């Protein structure tokens, strides 16, 4: 009897144990785990967060006085902007400007903003005390050696101005380059510099021109000892017909249908595609001194812009922005679509459809916030050309700004920053929000104006009345629109320059994160969150958004792509980046089947979000970092921590 009792007891115990195991299995087999708020810091950190495609770049700006010119400081004469001179062969003279120290290629390093004080022959020191770590390399290439109209030095240009000869009459040397194909040595040189960017951790702002050092243009104030009239000496392009350059058409067999500019761009096409992953944008230079698309006959031709921009649209991958000015864009658009838009109605142009050719065009402003009605002509560039072809064209600053806002593209500027309602804060903040300013040259401009502005509620919210027209800038009372900037308490007490530095382009802050409490190996990981773009602009270039599961107890990491598009995380149109503006929080939701990560081991994991270019080949370069406080950035992964989860 005792044996029977023990047997029954054993059966009962086993039964209870099996029931318990069954219940545990039922619990683990729940298909939907609850979403749990993640323990993260959701507040913005008011510091410099370098990210691709936005922010500052270290332009090769050379600002020296005439009495400081010598063979070391300026071997070819005074030139404010310096591009890499592309060599023909190994014997060609190299020139990268007065960089101290000399840098070639990936010139990304922490640098102070310029305060407007000329250092002459001294090293660049910035002077503002406000620094940034630029994520953009200034990759601009001077093709003067490949155009018979491009002078090789300021001395050569002045010699031509005096005697009209393309060859020095005393020593017999040529004063210009030679119209010819880009040599294999030249193409390898360009690839080599772009490869340095790829090997680094930045992106490239790319420009090609035939006068990257401005030798075809006189800036008379730089030569006070000479009686000079400012302006163009000679058109530098190989499509400009002269005795030294009798034909614009390419002579290479099989390419006689192209002019020389088209052929050179055709030669560059493989390079644009090979380095697509690190190119931020391409400035469609080629016309005029410095490639700024002004002054030369070609730079004032509607037909030249149609030719030029079509060539770039074909050569540059359609994932990348092309920069031009308003006149150039109007010329291309009208000739392409049979319209007659002018500066008088540029603000009525339709918002470009996603994926359209017109949607690829951004804007370069060579005198950003210079303080006058047209930013020294940058905003109004091409108006006479448009007027001559399409009829009455009247430039209006605000109409151009409205067009720029609709384009929602990259806006790059050389700093002018004048003492005026457009250059001083808070007016400068309001304009940057309107045009979505994304990139500025930190080595050119009066950034001390913004640095002396204390960012507090009183100063920021002081109403700004803008001039109604250009005439009112000449001393009459302003009667234009009154606007008030929105104060962001995160930057209270900091300088206006710090605020502007951080707000250029996009700036992403994670505001809410909820992840599945657990997930089975064959189930679905769910995440629901909110992200806010507090920048002046938006993400322009397409990005891949993926999720990484990183083991908490080991080195294992698993990655899966999402269908999220970072370009959907739009900023607030009124410039309200305050954390309490929940209407500007954008959805950050995804559901991923665990099998897409591969064979994920059981255990506890951190969830990371990685955002980079779809063609990026490195493991952790050129990835977008959130601007949150806390230790959420994993540099080894190039990803942002957004939560934790247990895999069962």
pTM of the model: 0.92
Tokens (6 digits) for 617:
């080949």
Q: What's residue 96's pLDDT?
A: 63
Q: What angle do CA 393, 229, 469 make, to 5 degrees?
A: 30
Which residues are 364's β-sheet partners? 412
Tokens (6 digits) for 523:
């189930």
Q: What's residue 76's pLDDT?
A: 63
Q: What's residue 5's pLDDT?
A: 37
Q: What's residue 465's pLDDT?
A: 98
Q: What's residue 13's pLDDT?
A: 41
Q: What's residue 121's pLDDT?
A: 63
Residue in 268, 273, 276 with CA at minimum distance from that of residue 197:
276
From CA 197, how far away is CA 484, in angstroms rounded?
Answer: 40
Residue in 456, 487, 589, 473 with CA at minimum distance from that of residue 528:
589
C-alpha 508: how far from chain center:
16
Strands 411-415 and 361-368: parallel
Question: 3-class SS at 19?
Answer: helix
Q: What angle do CA 413, 372, 367 make, to 5 degrees?
A: 20
Tokens (6 digits) for 50:
């370098």
Name the H helices within 209-259. none
Measured from the Cβ of residue 185, the count of other Cβ atoms closer than 10 Å reads 14
Q: What's residue 124's pLDDT?
A: 75
Which residues are 530's β-sheet partners? 512, 587
User: Which 8-state DSSP code applies to residue 124?
Assistant: P
Residues (pLDDT < 70) of the chain are: 1-31, 60-66, 69-81, 96-107, 119-123
Q: Is 633 exposed, middle or buried (0-12, 13-18, 19+ CB in 10 A)?
A: middle
Residue in 364, 347, 366, 453 with CA at minimum distance from that of residue 411:
364
Host H or E run for residue 372: none
Q: What's residue 210's pLDDT?
A: 98
The set of residues, in sequence order, having a beta carbon less than 8 Å from that of 197 and lying 6+ positions away, is 105, 106, 137, 139, 203, 204, 275, 278
Q: Please write the tens of the pLDDT for every residue from 495-547.
A: 999 999 999 999 999 999 999 999 999 999 999 999 999 999 999 999 999 99
Tokens (6 digits) for 431:
């304009």
Instruction: Round to the nearest angstrom and report the end-to-end CA distance of the chain.
Output: 45
């Amino acid at each position: 009897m005792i044996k029977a009792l023990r047997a029954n007891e054993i059966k009962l115990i086993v039964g209870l144990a099996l029931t318990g195991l069954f219940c545990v299995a039922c619990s683990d087999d729940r298909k939907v785990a609850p979403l749990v708020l993640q323990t993260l810091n959701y507040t913005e950190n008011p510091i410099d967060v370098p990210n691709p495609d936005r922010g500052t770049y270290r332009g090769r700006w050379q600002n020296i006085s005439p009495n400081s010119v010598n063979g070391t400081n300026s071997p070819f004469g005074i030139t404010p902007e310096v591009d890499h001179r592309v060599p023909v062969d190994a014997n060609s003279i190299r020139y990268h400007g007065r960089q101290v120290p000399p840098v070639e290629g990936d010139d990304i390093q922490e640098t102070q903003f310029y305060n407007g004080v000329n250092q002459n022959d001294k090293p660049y020191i910035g002077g503002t005390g406000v620094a940034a770590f630029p994520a953009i390399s200034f990759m601009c290439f001077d093709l003067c050696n490949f155009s018979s109209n491009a002078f090789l030095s300021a001395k050569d240009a002045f010699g031509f101005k005096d005697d009209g000869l393309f060859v020095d009459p005393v020593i017999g040397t040529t004063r210009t380059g030679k119209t010819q194909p880009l040599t294999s040595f030249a193409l390898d040189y360009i690839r080599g510099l772009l490869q340095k960017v790829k090997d680094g951790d930045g992106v490239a702002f790319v420009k090609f021109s035939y006068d990257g050092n401005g030798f075809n243009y006189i800036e008379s104030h730089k030569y006070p000892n000479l009686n000079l009239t400012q302006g163009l000496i000679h058109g530098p392009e190989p499509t400009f017909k002269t005795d030294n350059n009798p034909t614009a058409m390419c002579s290479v067999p099989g390419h006689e249908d192209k002019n020389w500019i088209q052929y050179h761009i055709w030669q560059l096409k493989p390079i644009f595609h090979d380095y697509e992953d690190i190119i931020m944008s391409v400035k469609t230079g080629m016309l005029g001194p410095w490639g700024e698309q002004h002054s030369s006959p070609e730079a004032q031709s509607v037909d030249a812009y149609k030719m030029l921009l079509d060539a770039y649209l074909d050569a540059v991958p359609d994932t990348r922005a092309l920069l031009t000015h308003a006149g150039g864009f109007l010329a291309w658009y009208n000739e392409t679509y049979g319209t007659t838009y002018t500066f008088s109605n540029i603000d009525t142009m339709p918002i470009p459809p996603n994926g359209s050719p017109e949607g690829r065009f951004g804007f370069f402003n060579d005198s950003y916030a210079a303080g006058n009605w047209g930013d020294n002509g940058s905003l109004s560039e091409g108006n006479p050309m448009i007027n001559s072809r399409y009829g009455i064209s009247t430039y209006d600053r605000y109409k151009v700004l409205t067009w720029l806002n609709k384009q929602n593209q990259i806006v790059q500027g050389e700093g002018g920053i004048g003492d005026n309602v457009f250059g001083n804060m808070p007016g400068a903040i309001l304009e940057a929000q309107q045009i979505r300013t994304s990139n500025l040259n930190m080595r050119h401009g009066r950034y001390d104006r913004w640095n002396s502005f204390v960012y507090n509620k009183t100063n920021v919210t002081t109403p700004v009345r803008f001039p109604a027209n250009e005439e009112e800038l000449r001393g009459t009372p302003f009667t234009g629109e009154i606007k008030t900037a929105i104060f962001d308490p995160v930057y209270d007490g900091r300088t206006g320059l710090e605020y502007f530095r951080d707000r250029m382009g996009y700036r992403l802050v994670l505001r809410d994160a909820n992840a599945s409490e657990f997930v089975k190996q064959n189930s679905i990981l769910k995440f629901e969150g909110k992200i806010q773009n507090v920048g002046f602009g938006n993400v322009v270039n397409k990005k891949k958004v993926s999720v990484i599961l990183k083991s908490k107890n080991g080195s294992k990491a698993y990655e899966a792509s999402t269908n999220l598009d970072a370009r959907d995380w739009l900023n607030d149109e009124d410039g309200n980046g305050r954390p309490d503006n929940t209407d500007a929080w954008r959805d950050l939701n995804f559901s991923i089947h665990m099998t897409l990560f591969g064979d994920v081991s059981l255990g506890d994991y951190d969830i990371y979000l990685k955002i980079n270019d779809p063609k990026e080949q490195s493991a952790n370069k050129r990835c977008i970092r959130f601007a949150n406080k806390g230790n959420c950035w994993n540099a080894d992964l190039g990803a942002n921590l957004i939560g934790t989860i247990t895999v069962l």
